[in-house]
Structure 1
Amino acid sequence: MPRRSYDQYCAAARALDAVGDRWTLLIVRELLGGPRRYTDLHADLPGVSTDMLATRLKDMERDGLVARRRLAAPASVSVYELTPRGRELLPVLQALGEWGAPALGERRPTDAVRAHWLALPVLRELAELGEAGVLEVRLDEGEFYVLVGEEAPRYGDGRYEGEPDARVTLDAEVGGAVARGELGFVAAVRAGHAQLTGTGSLANALTSSPLGD
């Protein structure tokens, strides 16, 4: 299928040529957490058909956003991962999430949710703290971890394989407020609305004087 284009000499239009189709940016959101198998991507993108997901991944490979590779034995499975060009979309997704947060409202019965979908605003706030480290975040829906500092910021689904520098636990009410942009993640920790464990520099930065002081 030929590539569709707005045929406009405008940087925003060129960007939308590559990422403006339905599901593309949500696939990027999932792959920002690291390489994923097709079946894992499908499981964490409720509502996407198998045909649509396959088509979008092919489009993203063609446009240089995604690469596919086969893991070495004993795994021997194919995974999709973002290229450096694809990873550059992290701040784009963070900005979209910040803009869209007020529209979330209360969760509807039909709304799917995954713990790691909260990683984007958490990553943004941690980057502003300026401390390197690994933070594990636990919610009712599950866990995710974020890495900030010396390497490119990223997140992963599930628990961190090693020992994180700090852990934060949010209940459903506080997690929802953070997702909607009503309460900052760091502000929630500093106000005592979240449980924090850890003694390193990252934990200290999370518990330092309230924001704005």
Structure 2
Amino acid sequence: MSERSYADECGAALALDAVGERWALLIVRELMFGPKRFADLRLGLPQASQNVLSQRLKELEGAGVIQRVKLGPPARAQVYELTSAGVALEPAVVALAQWGARLDVHHGSKMSADSLALLLKALYRPAGPSAVSVALQLGDDEFAIHLDSDAIQIKRGAAREPDAVLRGTVQSWWDVLFGSVDVDASLDTGVIEITGDRAAADQFLESFPAPGIFTGTGSLVDRVAG
């Protein structure tokens, strides 16, 4: 917990004492889908200095939100992961992402792979009654995604026997899913790649707001409603 406090017994104030400092909730975002090394957290949060990131990790660990664990062979690395208290923040982080989509503010900066994964979770709307599993490979980052009629589940790591595999960069999939770039045009140019069951891939693609919602002016919600 930060040395600064609201000194207020309200649950919201107590929560902000624990996770309200700058970068704190974005660290939670980066760990929502699986553990990460310090170096990987820096890649996902390039605007946070090494000292600030180290301080926030220390504070979150002190608040019981994250913990350090050592991976066995072959990795033999120390990683940070969410505790059960940290995992309990997921609905709040998803709700913040949904709320933020209402704001007409666009920085034009690059998204991390976990930012894209959070957006998928926040904006998911089932497109079919059947459950499908896809592997989303974004360079060195890979996510196992399971879709069904009720929810979307996303975990960092390789998917076991996915129905379809989607490959590309964070930017290329952002452009296809939420921009104005046509999926077939991207496939033709090799910017993205889809292998496996195309019907499963199409169900994934149709499970999010129509392409183009992040182009032009106005909030995401306004553009979806329009």
* TM-score between the two structures when normalised by the length of structure 2: 0.66
Answer with 142-151 or 44-53: which moved more: 142-151
Displacement of 1:205: 4.9
Distance in 2 of aligned mates of 1:78 and 1:143: 18
Structure 1: which 5+ runs fail to align? none
Secondary structure of residue in 2 paired with 1:67: strand
Deviation at 1:71, TM superposition (A): 1.2
Query: For residue 133 of structure 2, what is the aligned residue in structure 1?
Result: 134
Distance 1:194 1:117, change over 3 A: farther
* Structure 2 SS opposite 1:60: helix
Q: Which amino acid aligns with 1:28?
A: V
Compute the displacement of 1:112 (Å).
Answer: 3.2
Length, aligned pairs only: 197
Structure 1 stretch displaced more, 48-57 or 116-125:
116-125
Residue 163 of structure 1 and its aligned partner are, at CA, apart by 3.6
Contact 2:67 2:83 in 1 (8 A): yes
Offset, 1:64: 0.9
Where do 1:99-178 residues align within 5 Å? 99-101=99-101, 102-105=103-106, 107=108, 111-126=109-124, 128=126, 132-137=131-136, 144-148=142-146, 153-156=153-156, 160=158, 162-168=160-166, 175-176=174-175, 178=177
Distance 1:90 1:16, change over 3 A: same
2:159 and 2:204 map into 1 onto residues whose CA distance is 22
Corresponding letter in the other structure for 1:5: S
The whole-number CA distance in structure 1 between the counterparts of 2:207 and 2:59 is 47
Asked if the contact 2:126/2:207 (under 8 Å) is kept, the reply is: no
Is this contact kept in 2: 1:69–1:79, CA < 8 A? yes
Once the two structures are TM-superposed, the CA of residue 165 in structure 1 deviates from its matched residue by: 2.3
Could you tell me how far apart the structure 2 residues matched to 1:103 and 1:209 are? 23
DSSP 3-state at the match of 2:81: strand
Report the CA distance shift for 1:175/1:200 in structure 2 as closer, same or farther (over 3 A).
Answer: closer
**3-state SS in 1 of match to 2:116:** helix
Match of 2:30, SS state, is helix
- In structure 2, the gaps of 5 or more residues are 188-193, 210-226
Change over 3 Å in CA distance of 1:84–1:163 after alignment to 2: same
Deviations 1:66-106 (Å, cap 9, x if unpaired)?
A: 01011113432211100111112222222212222343437
Distance 2:2 2:137 in 1: 44
SS of residue matched to 2:46: coil
Identity over aligned residues, as a percent?
Answer: 35
Counterparts of 2:30 and 2:185 in 1: how far apart (Å)? 28
Task: Report the RMSD for the aligned CA atoms in angstroms.
Answer: 3.9
Between 25-34 and 66-75, report the one with greater CA deviation: 66-75
- Relative to structure 1, the CA distance from residue 177 to residue 152 in structure 2 (aligned partners, 3 Å threshold; closer, same or farther) is closer
Provide the TM-score with structure 1 as the length reference: 0.70
Question: How far has the Cα of 1:115 moved from its partner?
Answer: 3.3
- Shift of residue 42, structure 1, vs aligned partner: 1.3
Could you say which residue in structure 2 is the equivalent of 1:47? 47
SS of the residue corresponding to residue 91 of structure 1 reads helix
- Could you tell me which residue of structure 2 aligns to residue 62 of structure 1? 62
